[in-house]
Amino acid sequence: MDEPRFIQPEWPAPENVRAATSTRIGGASRPPFDTFNLGARAGDDALSVKENRRRLREALSLPEEPRWLAQVHGTRVVAAGTVQRDESRADAAVTDRPGVVCAVLTADCLPVLLCDRKGRRIGIAHAGWRGLSGGIIEQTIKATGVAPGELLAWLGPAIGPDVYEVGADVLDACRASDPGCERCFRPGRSERWYADIYALARRRLEAAGVHAVYGGGLCTHTDAERFYSYRRDGRTGRMATLIWRTR
């Protein structure tokens, strides 16, 4: 049996801040969720998801069960310590409490991690194009209560700019809240566009005052061995990105 495998963020976070993104390797789920699906709403067998979440806690030595969100592609941010059992309809969470594990699930959307340079406040956001255009990054930054210049950000695996084809409605929605973002799009087929979700997120972070931004560049769509992709497969599993404080 394969052991769960993870992506470790390469960013200068304080020693007491831990983070990881899961891959699809090392779980108990059967096709099309093979094998390490952590999403309870993807259509997978509930017992398989429960076992995968147990393996997640064990492999990362997590201090508690992650505070899973009921993600809705919105802009609501919650205090992670108040979240109970997938019940909070939100797409981002923050905390200043050690031992509270913030988490989002993705299969093409962008997971964004935040922490302050002293390791006192952490946050996480699930950012698809709707969330980005609606301001999920800005809302999460605000919810940390930290001056943006004191924050570090890391961008996890998401669908890459060579395959993320969208309609003009996506370009219009992003342009409405971020004039000048056209440079993050290039023409596709039949009046469609290829969007660079990493570049869109970096613009938002930079405009908000977060200048220390790391990560980006791992494409969920093209790396089928490691990552789930909703665009590629339709019925599929979810990876988890997590962040927590040890003290």
Is residue 180 one of the residues assigned to a domain? no
Residue 187 in any domain: the answer is no
Residue 132 has pLDDT above 80, yes or no: yes
CA pair distance 123, 80, nearest whole angstrom: 9
How do residues 186-229 score in pLDDT, each as one tens digit? Answer: 999 888 999 999 999 999 999 999 999 999 999 999 999 999 99
DSSP class of residue 4?
Answer: P
Give bridge partners of residue 63 from the DSSP assignment: none
The structural domain count of the chain equals 1
Average pLDDT (126-142) is 97
Helix (H) or strand (E) holding 94: strand 92-95
Tell me whether residue 138 is in a domain.
yes
% residues pLDDT > 90 (the chain):
94
Q: What's the pTM?
A: 0.95
- Collapsing DSSP to helix, strand or coil, 119 comes out as coil
- Residue 165's H or E segment, with its range, is strand 165-166
> Considering the domain boundaries, does residue 189 fall inside one?
no
Phi/psi for 139 (5° steps) reads -65, -35
What's the one-letter identity of residue 91? D
Q: What are the backbone angles phi and psi of residue 209, rounded to the nearest 5°?
A: 105, 5
Averaged pLDDT of the chain: 96
Sign of the CA dihedral with 197 first, then 18, 77, and 85 last? positive
Binned at pLDDT 50, 70 and 90, residue 1 comes out as low
Q: For residues 198 and 204, what is the distance between their CA atoms, to the nearest angstrom?
A: 10
Residue 56 lies in a domain: yes
Asked if residue 77 belongs to a domain, the reply is yes
Assigned domain for 136 exists: yes
At 4-40, the pLDDT tens digits run 999 999 999 999 999 999 999 999 999 999 999 999 9
CATH number at residue 223: 3.60.140.10
Residue 85 has pLDDT above 80, yes or no: no
In a domain, 146, yes or no: yes
Question: 95-104, 114-123, 188-197, 219-228: lowest mean pLDDT where?
Answer: 188-197
Overall average pLDDT of the 89-95 stretch: 97
What is the domain range of residue 238? 6-158+211-245
Nearest by Cα to 132 from 86, 187, 171, 93: 171
